[in-house]
Amino acid sequence: MLPAMTDPADSPQPTSQVPAFMDEFSLIRRYFHHRQGDSVVLGPGDDAAILAPPVGQQLVMTQDTSLADRHFPSDMAPEDVGYRCLAVNISDLAAMGAMPLWFLLSLTLPRVDEDWLAGFSNGLFELADQAGISLVGGDITRGPLAISIQATGAVPPGQALRREGACAGDRICVGGVTGGGLLGLEQWQAGQRYGPAIEHFRRPRPQWELGMALRGQASACIDISDGVLADLNHILQASGALGACIDEASLPEDPCVLAGCSADKQRALQLQGGDDYLLLFTLPPPLPIPEGCYCLGRIEAQPGIRLRQHDGTVRALKVSGWQHF
C-alpha cells in the first residue's frame, strides 16, 4: 500500500453501519474468520498462513479471478457471488481429482458495505464448509469489484487427473446434464431471477467427490467452463491431436433445467454452453459409468469432433471455444 497515494476517499467510510475503525484488519476479523481444518497451523492475521500438508501427498493449485459484469452480473446477490467465485476454483481442483484443502482470497471492493460483505462471506463459507476447504489468508483492497481466489488440494502421488491421457476407444462422459449454466445466464439477462436454470447459474456445484472417485479410472479429465465441445477439444489436443464422435441420441433428456427448450436448443446448450462446472472425462472401455454421469460418445483416432445424428449420418462439428481474453 503506498501511503502517500492514499486520499480521503481511501479511509473507511463512516456510515451508520460502518464504524470508523473498520480497516482491513477489522474487516477480515469480522467477516473472514471461520473454523478451519486441522491442517491449518496458523490462519489469517500474520504475514502469511502456516499449513501442514498431508503426508505423502502431492498438492494441486489453481487461481482464478472473477470480475463484476464479466464473470458474474454486478446485480447478483453477494451470497451467490461468494459461492460462485469459490465454486469456480474448487471445480478446477475437482478436475484434477484433488481433495480441497485451503484457499486464499484477494477481495477488491469499491467501498466498505457491511451488508454486502456479510452476504458474500455467508455464501463463500456455505460452499467452503460443504467442500471442507479452509480460508487461510488473503487481502482486501479498494478498487473495482474483483475476487481473486487461489485454492489448493491434495492428491496421492501420480494420481492427479490431467487433460492428457485420453485414448481412441475411451468413452466421453459428463458429470450431469450440461447447458444449465448458459441457459441460466440467458434467463438472468432477460430479467428472470428464479427457476432451475437460474439456480444452476447462481450456484454451480463443483464435483470434487466425483473427481476423487475418478482417480485411477478416468484417462483424462477437465471441468466444463467453456462448453462440452471446447473443453473436449482441450482434452483431444492435450492427448495428441485425437478426435471424437458425439452420439446425438446419447445426449440426456432433462425434465427439469432444460425443460421448455426445443430439441435443437437443448442440443446447442448441452454441447456449447459454458459455465457448467461439471466434469468432462474419458473412461477406458471396461470401466462402468459412474452414477449420475452420462456417456456422450467415444474418442477416435481421426482428428476433429463429429456428431452422429439421430438418422445415423455423421457430420463434422465446428469447435468455437470462448476467448478468455
Classify residue 288 by its DSSP letter: P
Asked if 273 contacts 226 with a C-beta cutoff of 8 angstroms, the reply is: no
227 binds a second copy (CB under 8 A): yes
CB of 231 to a second copy, least distance (A): 10
Residue with cell 481511501: 10
d(CA 103, CA 138): 9
Residue type, 11: S
Would you say 118 or 249 has its CB closer to a second copy? 118
Site size toward a second copy (CB under 8 A) is 87
Query: Quick one: which segment of 122-130, 158-166, 256-264, 281-289 binds a second copy (CB under 8 A)?
Result: 158-166
d(CA 140, CA 10): 12
Site for a second copy in 64-83 (CB under 8 A): 64-65, 67, 69-72
190 binds a second copy (CB under 8 A): no
d(CA 5, CA 89): 33
Question: How far does CA 100 lie from the centroid of its chain?
Answer: 13
Among 117, 146, 271, 293, binds a second copy (CB under 8 A): 146
Among 15, 17, 29, 41, binds a second copy (CB under 8 A): 41
Query: Quick one: which segment of 9-17, 116-124, 192-200, 262-270 binds a second copy (CB under 8 A)?
Result: 9-17
134 binds a second copy (CB under 8 A): no
Q: Choose among 258, 248, 271, 270: nearest CA to 320.
A: 271
d(CA 236, CA 244): 8
Among 102, 120, 125, 281, binds a second copy (CB under 8 A): 102
Among 34, 108, 122, 304, binds a second copy (CB under 8 A): 108
Binding mask 192-221 toward a second copy (x if CB under 8 A, else -) reads -----------------------------x
Q: Which residues lie closer than 8 Å to 247 by C-beta, 6 or more apart?
A: 296, 297, 308
d(CA 251, CA 126): 32
CB of 310 to a second copy, least distance (A): 26
Nearest 10 degrees: Cα torsion 205, 293, 253, 276: 30
Would you say 63 or 250 has its CB closer to a second copy? 63
Among 81, 85, 86, 98, binds a second copy (CB under 8 A): 98
Establish whether 139 is an annotated binding residue: yes
Establish whether 115 is an annotated binding residue: no
61 binds a second copy (CB under 8 A): yes
Q: Choose among 273, 277, 278, 308: nearest CA to 290.
A: 278
Backbone φ and ψ of 247, nearest 5°: -95, 115
179 binds a second copy (CB under 8 A): no
Would you say 107 or 245 has its CB closer to a second copy? 107
Would you say 310 or 324 has its CB closer to a second copy? 324
User: Which of helix, strand or coil describes residue 152?
Assistant: strand
Binding mask 294-313 toward a second copy (x if CB under 8 A, else -) reads --------------------
275 binds a second copy (CB under 8 A): yes
178 binds a second copy (CB under 8 A): no
Asked if 51 contacts 39 with a C-beta cutoff of 8 angstroms, the reply is: yes
d(CA 258, CA 246): 19
242 binds a second copy (CB under 8 A): no
Among 14, 35, 50, 303, binds a second copy (CB under 8 A): 50
DSSP H or E stretch at residue 28: helix 24-32
d(CA 287, CA 129): 32
Binding annotation for substrate: 71, 275, 322
